[in-house]
Chain A
Amino acid sequence: EADIYQTPRYLVIGTGKKITLECSQTMGHDKMYWYQQDPGMELHLIHYSYGVNSTEKGDLSSESTVSRIRTEHFPLTLESARPSHTSQYLCASSEFRGGHETQYFGPGTRLLVL
């Protein structure tokens, strides 16, 4: 079982608030990811990191930002939440096994911005 954690699991917040979604993993994985999933839609990569001090934007443009100061921690921040940010956010980390990369996911954070 993967050891990757996300908090909070659910968050209801008002427009304009700053929020940080936490993600941590205890597996020592270098690569980490943030995905966004809107209802009825695919998982879309919004941010990823190759390791400490590395952050890259994913395929889907996002107003969120991320940081990677420690290997195990990859928080996502929204400076000013808006209703359009309402979505599910999934964090993942990955390892190479048998020559292929497998991603391990956290349980997700469901965000509702009023």
Chain B
Amino acid sequence: ILNVEQSPQSLHVQEGDSTNFTCSFPSSNFYALHWYRWETAKSPEALFVMTLNGDEKKKGRISATLNTKEGYSYLYIKGSQPEDSATYLCAFLNAGNNRKLIWGLGTSLAVNP
């Protein structure tokens, strides 16, 4: 059974705080790790696809790192803003013929103004 775990489950920060959360995934048979952002009443939106150990990707104030050997990825938000409030989902894609995304439960972030 492939498990993807995200922590913390929820997070409340003040505007301007920087924050980070974790996605843990199986370290064997790795193909790719996806991060999505899901705002309430909107569609999940792709943030990053990460494939190489040591990868670091950045989009504005949001960045992510990847460690495939130990099976984790961190998502960082610098200077959180209220519009960053959303659930951040990660999804693991295993190598092999029958590839499907295995999703975590997400980290729910609330940024207070």
Chain A residues in contact with chain B, CB under 8 A?
2, 4, 40-45, 48, 58-59, 90, 98, 100-108
| Minimum distance in angstroms from B7 CB to a CB of chain A | 14
A104 to B36, CA, bound (A): 10
A107 contacts B89, C-beta separation under 8 Å: no
A100 contacts B103, C-beta separation under 8 Å: no
Q: Using a Cβ cutoff of 8 Å, how many contacts connect chains A and B?
A: 42
B89 contacts A102, C-beta separation under 8 Å: no
B46 contacts A100, C-beta separation under 8 Å: no
With A42-B105, A102-B49 given, is the CB distance from A107 to B42 under 8 Å?
Answer: yes
Residue among A43, A44, A100 making CB contact with B51, cutoff 8 Å: A100
Considering only CB atoms and an 8 Å cut-off, how many residues of chain B contact the other chain? 20
Q: Which of B12-45 contact A (CB under 8 A)?
A: 32, 34, 36, 41-45
Which residues does chain B contribute within 8 Å of A104, judged by CB atoms? Answer: 43, 46
A66 to B80, CA, bound (A): 41
A40 to B106, CA, bound (A): 9
A45 to B92, CA, bound (A): 13
A4 to B44, CA, bound (A): 11
A83 to B53, CA, bound (A): 44
Which residues does chain A contribute within 8 Å of B61, judged by CB atoms? Answer: none
Closest CB pairs A-B (n = 4):
A43-B103, A105-B43, A105-B44, A42-B103
| Minimum distance in angstroms from A41 CB to a CB of chain B | 7
Residue among B42, B45, B49, B104 making CB contact with A42, cutoff 8 Å: B104
New A-B pairs, 15, CB < 8 Å, besides A40-B105, A42-B105, A105-B45 = A2-B43, A4-B43, A42-B103, A42-B104, A43-B91, A45-B100, A59-B100, A90-B43, A90-B44, A98-B49, A100-B32, A100-B49, A106-B43, A107-B41, A108-B43
